[in-house]
Amino acid sequence: MASIVSHAAAGAALSIAFAPDNAPGRTWPVAIATAVLPDLDSLLYYFRISYSPTLGHRGFFHSPFLGLIISFLLMFLFFREEALFSGRWFRYFFVFFLAWVSHGFLDALTNGGRGVAFLYPFSSKRYFLPWTPIQVSPMRIKSFFTLKGWSVFKNEFVWIWLPGLILVSVSRLTRLWMKN
């Protein structure tokens, strides 16, 4: 998996790039939380649920199907004032859904683990993308303060943070250009 910090950065970048103009301040924290939430399935290790089953890490909690449900729930919890299914409503919904899906996408780009159950509930088969340039992140916090942890952060900077910064820059420049 990519580190939780980089998943959060992806959520922030997506919210900045795709949320409507004049979005309320709660938009990017909700998007960040949405991008990180799929890793709650890691807590299932404490209940002795192994990696393999549907509920295990990178299973149901990483599926776009659950992302749709969570995105609807977030809209009703945090964006009730938006007219249901209006253009702005769909923009926020899209941001949260992208933030959720970005998590599985980034995990499928890593060089470790057992893949992501992208098609759950229709299939529990797990997938990696054909190209896996992101080093798998350590799961323990103290492991980040080692040479391996530093190597992971440098790798994530190149493959997650820089593309996120480019996405934000391009979206901001495009908005400025379209206003003129």
Looking up tokens 């938006």, which residue turns up?
82
CB of 120 within 8 A of CB of 55? no
How buried is 39 (Cβ within 10 angstroms: 0-12 exposed, 13-18 middle, 19+ buried)? buried
* Sign of the alpha-carbon torsion through 23, 25, 26, 29: positive
pTM: 0.92
Which sequence spans correspond to the domains of the chain?
A: 4-179
Candidate from 1-10, 73-82, 137-146 with smallest mean pLDDT:
137-146
- Residue 127 phi, psi dihedral angles, 5° rounding: -130, 145
Residues belonging to the chain? 180
Averaged pLDDT score across all residues of the chain: 93
Helix axes 27-36 and 4-18, enclosed angle (nearest 10): 140
Query: Quick one: pLDDT at residue 63?
Result: 96
Going by pLDDT thresholds of 50, 70 and 90, the confidence category of residue 139 is confident
Q: What is the pLDDT of residues 86-100, one digit of tens each?
A: 999 999 999 999 999
Rounded to 5°, the CA angle 69-72-77 comes to: 120
pLDDT tier at 15 (50, 70, 90 boundaries)?
A: very high
